[in-house]
Amino acid sequence: MYNIRELDVYNMSLDFSNLIWEICIKWEPFAKNTIAYQLVRSTDSISANIAEGFGRFHYKENLKFCFYARGSLEETQGWLRKAYKRKLISSDKREKIESFLSIFPQKFNTYINKIKQYKNQDSE
């Protein structure tokens, strides 16, 4: 695979960040300045780090950026917990978010494990 746009985990994370953007852009200024800014930043960082790692063409560096993306996913979930508690996200949008979060981590871990396999095969 030579094109990032063919990578499912990248496309999923990009779609997810666009969903978060659509939600946050409608918030009142205080919520935007306190939570939305951080939530969008952390969500955008998931796909950005996947893309950067993909573009490095070295397994070890790709893994490093995947781990950054995984950290951004955890940060995103922390901001989402705050947004849910503060009733900033509607139930229909929350369902879409939770649907992504129920699928993406497993797919992303599978991708990371594939990179590890290629790295180990390359070093043999």
How far apart, in whole angstroms, are the C-alpha atoms of residue 48 and residue 94?
A: 23
Q: Which domains does the chain have, with CATH numbers?
A: 4-123 (1.20.1440.60)
Q: pLDDT (tens digit, 0 to 9) for every residue of the chain, 124 residues total?
A: 679 999 999 999 999 999 999 999 999 999 999 999 999 999 999 999 999 999 998 999 999 999 999 999 999 999 999 999 999 999 999 999 999 999 999 999 999 999 999 877 766 5
- Predicted TM-score (pTM) of this structure: 0.93
Alpha carbon distances (Å) from 114 to 8, 75, 86, 94: 13, 24, 38, 30
Q: Cβ distance 53 to 64 under 8 Å?
A: yes
pLDDT at 88: 98
Helices (DSSP H) in the chain: which residue ranges?
A: 8-24, 29-31, 37-56, 59-85, 91-123
Q: How many beta carbons lie within 10 A of that of residue 113, not counting itself?
A: 10
